[in-house]
Amino acid sequence: MRTMDTPTGAYERFRHWAATLLTHQRANDAEVYQFSTIGALLEGVYDGDVTVAEILSHGDFGLGTFNHLDGEMVILDGVCYRLRADGSASRAAPTDRSPFAAVTRFHNDLEIAIHGRTTRTELTAAIDRQITSPNLIYAVRITGRFAELHTRTVMAQKPPYPPLTQATEEQAETVFTDVTGTVVGFRTPDFEQGISVAGYHLHFLNADRTGGGHILDFTLERGEVAISGASQLHLSLPTSGDFLDARLSGADIADRIDKAEGPRGERT
């Protein structure tokens, strides 16, 4: 004979189901989904097939670039922005395409309050002291007021494309002073150099979401740092175009990344 559920039994089964669902969802969230590699960008692979809409289906926080290197990418709160060489920012269209992007679903694992003037080197060192392991991936969000923030944005390129180190020689640089906004980026393990940018790869978007760029340096006046850890990397590689014939290895890859993207900063 079938027994009827009691209210207590039904409630406990619901709690178990909800806890299992949340655990599964959290496990899925602890992933960085990346399209192509930084090594491909170094070799001038500036055209991709992945759209902004597809990128956003895999996360609400991240960075990258757009086809032809026409602007830096910031993904914040589920919205994708294009940061152009003149320092301006605007929403990207869902149909815009990217040759490189990394995205995750941001969840706060760790928060650090910054109450006094702090340089980029001091801040990254503070983060390094707090993270669980340098061998995992961390999404980094820094929100606050910056005394000064130095950015660059590469100019849009035309075929035949030059390598990234050459393209960045013509980059437009902007200095923001006394500005509020958000730094969006990742801290990636050293062993991922060439797949991603090892160390800190950071972009900036101001509070009005009208300006920003790829960060070269900054001094934070005060603010909050939030860290979202990830133990999984999903790498989606192009199956057509220039990627298939690109030379994606070389002993000097770390030096070329530092020249194109800026120094990784000091480790602690």
pLDDT average, residue stretch 114-139: 97
* Residue 21 reports pLDDT greater than 60: no
Residue type, 74: V
CB distance 174 to 84 below 8 Å: no
pLDDT tens, position by position, 234-259: 999 999 999 999 988 666 777 877 77
Out of 2-16, 23-37, 115-129, 182-196, least confident range: 2-16
CA distance 15 to 11: 6
CA distance 144 to 139: 17
Report the percentage of the chain scoring pLDDT > 90: 76
DSSP character string of 22-51: HHHHHHHHSEEEEES-HHHHHTT-----EE
CA distance 203 to 44: 21
* Tally of CB atoms within 10 A around 172: 14
CA distance 203 to 215: 5
For the chain, the residue count is 268
Out of 21-25, 88-92, 133-137, 218-222, least confident range: 21-25
DSSP character string of 181-204: EEEEEEEE-GGGBTTB-SEEEEEE
- Strands 137-153 and 212-230 come out as antiparallel
User: Topology of 9-261 in CATH?
Assistant: 60s Ribosomal Protein L30; Chain: A; (3.30.1330)
